[in-house]
């Protein structure tokens, strides 16, 4: 008996063997043997007698009461673990939200966590966003796992679909199955799916950088200005005409400049202003984020010092800009009147201003408030509370799913035959092993005599004569000639699935590439170097005045905050969708790979099922083998994080010259990081190339290409009578179990290798 369960090499005991033709691949020479037609009838002898085998292998009767392995590997326990992950993430979100609200408070929907050094803010932003993306990826994976469970069909759903001449997906996330599953499972699937949309549109903008930028007024004056001499705004405005930095609609907002200049004059005369030399004055106003205030610029030109009246030569008022118009344009023009955005080499010792070419002598600057911080790290309590609510919805739905499934799968002693049959119909087919086990116990009559039928036989087709209407499949029950045919992994997935995945990948790559193109164009317009080293110096995920995304969105809160949050996180939603399709693609590859190896004697194993019993194997924890699942999970988290560093919400907090918050000129926008975008594109292209490269691998060509098609899978499972009752719990192998004359039949069986006949090149099977 032990020998019967052992794995043997297939031997050929027929004296009439002939050499396989040279055009058959080498692998076929080991598996496929040409034979002369014979009228002999061959029947494999199954060994699926559970009670007899249990004397030698007591583990066959193990259940979750006897085996920790079985207890832990039940699908219900895996679901509990996923629920635990979601609950832990929920607790983390709730704790962080409550701590933030109670510790830092908020004003107008925005709370301040930290203000100070910009490098510290950048580091906080980077690492907290990494944490956020790990949490969001965990939520997505757990939600996707539960959605896949809910979309898995029952045997009754499959039978109903087969009777309607269609098929369902087995073992992969599937939208196709939603048309056939029950209303409760469909409802929970929709709840999980739609709760993910706002979650990914908001999560990464729960915290964000806010940089302080000052409003100020610059007055170019004569020496006599400090003596209280008179001045005229009209003359000053005429002197600045034609200069981009001084005379443009993007500077000089409507204010009472007469009063502003008078106050500056009185403060300077009282000695309240600080003296700066030319170089220090230029450096102060050249820095976009440095604390700045009103300033008086004195000129060297002797020719303009007399008469003493008309002491105001020019003036400009600057506020933070949401576009690519630099605040320091008035200083960079150097008297040329041209558009100049790139700072010169320092130190600047000779400095001209405006069309009249006034040469700067020195500056008197209003003292800057010591309490003004350059950078701020802020959060949105509304977004954080919303995330907690969505997280709670996911956790609640998943708990309800677990409770419902536990109730449905409860032990019911003393079942009648009808109740047992109904229980088989209600069995959910999560995995390929679940489907094979179900079809072995109760073969599907609609796929009888089709043991070699591939998935293509059960698909709808369009003819050239009528391209607008699909024709229903008409699979033949006639015997089919077997030929060894290797096919690539990519052929297991439908063309539609490939097109959707590649289209979404191309879309996100096109968006990021376009954003990088905008960045490069904008930087070149400012005469800023766009080499890799220069882009890295701008900062990874750092906000700069050169990298605002200018799209004409609202800028003032709350409309500005909401619109820019949605824009910044739209790519996050696309990445989440890509993850779902990428996971489905890899799962499709794995389903066919597992199926294609089941004919090999060395691969004879018990089925991998979602609810194992005895010596059956458990299904994969994350629906994929760990060597594929863990890299997929990690790459998804990495892409979410890279996107968050490439395009992000940014708030500019305007500070008036006296150090007070100025809501009029504060705004929300989207910033982007060119170097982060470039790295994101590289990683994205690598992932696309990776899935195509994996798809280029080849399956063993002995078994048919069934993919996840339930009808094609069922066609391979018309087992012998002796394998129906207990065969599904034992190690099985697919092969020729019956042959009569020139026609054989293939199926899964517990029969020993020595009793199985090999598939023969050119022979027919049904």
> Could you tell me the CA-to-CA distances from 422 to 417, 425, 441 in Å, in that order?
9, 5, 14
How far apart (Å, rounded) are the C-alpha atoms in residues 27 and 759? 13
In terms of pLDDT, which residue wins out, 174 or 411?
174
58-67 burial, b if ≥16 CB within 10 A, otherwise e? eebbbebeeb
Lowest-confidence pick of 46-50, 680-684, 708-712: 46-50
How far apart (Å, rounded) are the C-alpha atoms in residues 235 and 240? 9
3 state SS for 294-325: CEEEEECCHHHCCCCCCCEEEEEEECCCCCCC
What backbone torsions phi and psi does residue 162 show, to the nearest 5 degrees?
-65, -35
> Could you tell me the CA-to-CA distances from 305 to 287, 373, 477, 658 in Å, in that order?
30, 38, 106, 30
**SS3 state at 364:** strand
Question: Would you call 11 exposed, middle or buried from its count of C-beta atoms within 10 A (0-12, 13-18, 19+)?
Answer: exposed
pLDDT over 90 percentage in the chain: 26
Evaluate whether 607 touches 433 at the Cβ level (below 8 Å): yes
The total of other beta-carbon atoms located within 10 Å of residue 198's CB is 17
DSSP string covering 267-278, please? HHHTT-SEEEEH
How far apart (Å, rounded) are the C-alpha atoms in residues 534 and 515? 17
Lowest-confidence pick of 147-151, 189-193, 326-330, 474-478: 326-330
Residue 188 DSSP label: H
Lowest-confidence pick of 47-51, 81-85, 170-174, 567-571: 47-51
In terms of pLDDT, which residue wins out, 11 or 609?
609
Place of tokens 């903008």: 205
Determine the pLDDT at residue 39: 45
Tokens of 677: 């975008």
Find, among 594, 624, 598, 589, the residue nearest to 494 by Cα. 589
Tokens of 759: 């598939």
Model-level pTM greater than 0.85? no
The total of other beta-carbon atoms located within 10 Å of residue 234's CB is 7
Determine the pLDDT at residue 674: 92
Highest mean pLDDT among 34-43, 430-439, 573-582: 430-439
Band of the pLDDT at 7, cuts 50, 70, 90? Answer: very low
Tokens of 514: 């376009």
How far apart (Å, rounded) are the C-alpha atoms in residues 431 and 27? 29
Highest mean pLDDT among 130-144, 356-370, 629-643, 677-691: 677-691
**SS3 state at 736:** strand
When pLDDT is averaged across residues 192-221 and rounded to a whole number, the result is 86
Residue 206 has pLDDT above 70, yes or no: yes
How far apart (Å, rounded) are the C-alpha atoms in residues 2 and 202? 60
Evaluate whether 706 touches 712 at the Cβ level (below 8 Å): yes
Q: What contacts 92, CB < 8 A, 6 or more positions away?
A: 135
When pLDDT is averaged across residues 617-635 and rounded to a whole number, the result is 79
When pLDDT is averaged across residues 350-366 and rounded to a whole number, the result is 90
Evaluate whether 699 touches 487 at the Cβ level (below 8 Å): yes
Q: What is the pLDDT of residues 221-267, one digit of tens each?
A: 998 999 888 888 998 989 888 887 888 777 888 888 999 999 999 99
Determine the pLDDT at residue 662: 81
Q: Is the dihedral of CA 186, 707, 77, 66 positive or negative?
A: positive
Determine the pLDDT at residue 290: 78
C-alpha angle 580-572-136 in degrees, rounded to nearest 5:
75
What backbone torsions phi and psi does residue 500 show, to the nearest 5 degrees?
-65, -45
What backbone torsions phi and psi does residue 725 show, to the nearest 5 degrees?
-75, -45
Evaluate whether 93 touches 199 at the Cβ level (below 8 Å): no
Q: What is the pLDDT of residues 721-740, one digit of tens each?
A: 888 888 888 888 998 988 88
Determine the pLDDT at residue 77: 77
**SS3 state at 566:** helix
Q: What is the pLDDT of residues 73-106, one digit of tens each?
A: 667 777 888 899 999 999 999 999 999 999 988 7
> Could you tell me the CA-to-CA distances from 530 to 81, 339, 488, 519, 526 in Å, in that order?
48, 19, 42, 9, 11
Average pLDDT across the chain, whole number: 82
Q: What is the pLDDT of residues 557-596, one digit of tens each?
A: 777 888 888 888 888 888 888 888 898 999 999 999 999 9
* Helix intervals (H) in 468-558: 495-525, 532-538
Q: What is the pLDDT of residues 314-356, one digit of tens each?
A: 999 988 877 766 677 888 877 776 766 667 777 888 888 888 8
Q: Which residues pair with 642 in a beta bridge?
A: none
Residue 686 has pLDDT above 60, yes or no: yes
Q: What contacts 413, CB < 8 A, 6 or more positions away?
A: none
When pLDDT is averaged across residues 374-390 and rounded to a whole number, the result is 88
Tokens of 312: 């105001």
The domain locations on the chain are: 68-206+380-405+418-458+477-695, 211-375
Find, among 148, 81, 69, the residue nearest to 606 by Cα. 69
Evaluate whether 580 touches 144 at the Cβ level (below 8 Å): yes
The total of other beta-carbon atoms located within 10 Å of residue 324's CB is 16
How far apart (Å, rounded) are the C-alpha atoms in residues 273 and 267? 7
How far apart (Å, rounded) are the C-alpha atoms in residues 144 and 626? 16
Evaluate whether 208 touches 562 at the Cβ level (below 8 Å): no
Question: Which run of H or of E encompasses 644?
Answer: helix 626-646
How far apart (Å, rounded) are the C-alpha atoms in residues 317 and 660? 17
In terms of pLDDT, which residue wins out, 555 or 171?
171
Determine the pLDDT at residue 22: 38
3-state helix, strand, coil in the chain (%, to 5): 45, 15, 40
- Give me Rg for the CA atoms of the chain: 37
**SS3 state at 10:** coil
In terms of pLDDT, which residue wins out, 340 or 628?
628
When pLDDT is averaged across residues 296-318 and rounded to a whole number, the result is 87
174-194 burial, b if ≥16 CB within 10 A, otherwise e? bebbeebbeeebbebbebbbe
Question: Would you call 679 exposed, middle or buried from its count of C-beta atoms within 10 A (0-12, 13-18, 19+)?
Answer: middle
When pLDDT is averaged across residues 180-198 and rounded to a whole number, the result is 88
**SS3 state at 738:** strand
Determine the pLDDT at residue 460: 77
Determine the pLDDT at residue 444: 92
Find, among 553, 575, 529, 538, the residue nearest to 673 by Cα. 538
Find, among 729, 621, 731, 751, the residue nearest to 62 by Cα. 729
In terms of pLDDT, which residue wins out, 160 or 75?
160
Residue 412 has pLDDT above 90, yes or no: no
Q: What is the pLDDT of residues 98-126, one digit of tens each?
A: 999 999 887 777 888 888 777 788 888 88
Q: What is the pLDDT of residues 444-456, one digit of tens each?
A: 999 999 999 999 8
Distance between first and last Cα of the chain: 30
When pLDDT is averaged across residues 138-149 and rounded to a whole number, the result is 86
Residue 705 DSSP label: -
In terms of pLDDT, which residue wins out, 480 or 48?
480
Q: What is the pLDDT of residues 465-483, one digit of tens each?
A: 566 667 777 888 889 999 9
DSSP string covering 207-261, please? EEEEEEEE-EEEEEE-GGGGGT----HHHHHHHTTT-TTTSSTTS--S--HHHHH
Q: Is the dihedral of CA 403, 405, 407, 409 positive or negative?
A: negative
When pLDDT is averaged across residues 587-607 and rounded to a whole number, the result is 88
Q: Which residues pair with 221 in a beta bridge?
A: 298, 312
Q: What contacts 645, CB < 8 A, 6 or more positions away?
A: 126, 129, 540, 541, 673, 676
């Amino acid at each position: 008996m032990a020998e019967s369960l052992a794995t043997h090499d297939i031997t050929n005991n027929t004296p009439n063997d002939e050499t396989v033709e040279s055009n058959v691949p080498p692998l076929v020479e080991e598996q496929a043997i040409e034979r002369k037609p014979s009228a002999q009838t061959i029947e494999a002898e199954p060994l699926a007698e559970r009670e007899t085998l249990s004397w030698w292998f007591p583990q066959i009767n193990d259940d979750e009461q006897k085996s920790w392995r079985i207890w832990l590997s039940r699908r219900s326990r895996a679901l509990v673990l996923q629920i635990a992950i979601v609950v832990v993430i929920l607790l983390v979100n709730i704790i962080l939200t409550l701590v933030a609200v109670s510790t830092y408070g908020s004003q107008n929907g925005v709370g301040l966590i930290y203000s100070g050094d910009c490098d510290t803010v950048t580091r906080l932003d980077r690492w907290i966003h990494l944490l956020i993306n790990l949490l969001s990826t965990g939520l997505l994976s757990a939600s996707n796992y539960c959605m896949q469970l809910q979309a898995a069909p029952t045997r009754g759903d499959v039978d109903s679909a087969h009777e309607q001449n269609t098929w369902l997906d087995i073992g992969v996330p599937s939208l196709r199955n939603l048309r056939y599953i029950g209303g409760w499972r469909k409802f929970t699937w929709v709840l999980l799916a739609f709760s993910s949309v706002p979650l990914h549109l908001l999560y990464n903008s729960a915290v964000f950088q806010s940089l302080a930028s000052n409003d100020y007024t610059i007055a170019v004056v004569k020496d006599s200005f400090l003596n209280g001499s008179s001045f005229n705004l009209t003359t000053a405005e005429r002197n600045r005409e034609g200069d981009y930095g001084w005379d443009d609609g993007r500077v000089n907002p409507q204010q009472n400049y007469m009063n502003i200049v008078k106050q500056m004059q009185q403060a300077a005369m009282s000695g309240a202003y600080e003296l700066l030399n030319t170089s220090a004055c230029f450096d102060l106003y050249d820095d976009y984020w440095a604390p700045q205030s009103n300033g008086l610029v004195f000129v060297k030109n002797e020719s303009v010092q007399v008469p003493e009246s008309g002491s105001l030569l020019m003036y400009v008022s600057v506020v933070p800009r949401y576009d690519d118009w630099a605040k320091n344009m008035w200083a960079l023009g150097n008297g040329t009147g041209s558009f100049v955005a790139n700072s010169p080499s320092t130190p600047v010792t000779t400095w001209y201003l405006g069309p009249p070419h006034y040469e700067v002598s020195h500056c008197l600057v209003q003292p800057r408030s010591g309490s003004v911080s350059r950078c701020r790290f802020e959060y949105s309590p509304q977004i954080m509370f919303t995330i907690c609510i969505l997280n709670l919805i996911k956790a609640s739905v998943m708990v309800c799913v677990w409770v419902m499934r536990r109730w449905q799968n409860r032990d019911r002693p003393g079942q009648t035959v009808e109740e047992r049959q109904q229980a088989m119909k209600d069995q959910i087919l999560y995995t390929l092993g679940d489907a094979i086990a179900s079809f072995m116990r109760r073969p599907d009559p609609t796929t009888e005599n089709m043991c070699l039928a591939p998935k293509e036989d059960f698909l709808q087709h369009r003819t050239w004569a009528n391209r607008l209407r699909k024709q229903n499949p008409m699979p033949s029950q006639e015997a089919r000639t077997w030929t060894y045919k290797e096919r690539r992994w990519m052929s297991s997935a439908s063309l539609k699935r490939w097109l959707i995945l590649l289209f979404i990948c191309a879309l996100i790559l096109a968006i990021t590439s376009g954003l990088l193109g905008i960045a490069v164009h904008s930087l070149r317009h400012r005469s800023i170097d766009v080499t890799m080293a220069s882009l890295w110096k701008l900062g990874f995920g750092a906000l700069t005045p050169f990298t605002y995304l200018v799209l004409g969105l609202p800028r003032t809160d709350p409309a500005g905050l909401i619109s820019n949050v949605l824009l910044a996180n739209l790519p996050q939603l696309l990445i989440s969708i890509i993850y779902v399709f990428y996971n489905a693609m890899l799962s499709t590859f794995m389903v066919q790979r597992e199926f294609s190896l089941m004919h090999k004697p060395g691969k004879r194993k018990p089925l991998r099922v979602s609810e194992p019993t005895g010596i059956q194997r458990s299904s994969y924890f994350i629906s994929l083998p760990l060597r594929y699942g863990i890299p997929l999970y990690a790459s998804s988290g990495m892409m979410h994080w890279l996107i968050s560093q490439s395009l992000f919400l940014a708030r500019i907090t305007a500070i008036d010259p006296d150090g007070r918050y100025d809501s009029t000129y504060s705004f929300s926008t989207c910033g982007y990081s060119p170097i982060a975008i470039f790295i994101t594109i590289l990683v994205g292209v690598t992932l696309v190339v990776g899935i195509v490269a994996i798809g280029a691998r080849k399956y063993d060509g002995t078994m048919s290409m069934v993919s996840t098609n339930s009808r094609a899978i069922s066609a391979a499972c018309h087992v012998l009578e002796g394998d129906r009752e207990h065969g599904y719990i034992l190690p099985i192998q697919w092969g020729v179990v019956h042959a009569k004359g020139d026609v054989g039949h293939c199926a899964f069986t517990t029969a020993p290798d020595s009793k199985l006949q090999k598939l023969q090149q050119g022979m027919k099977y049904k």
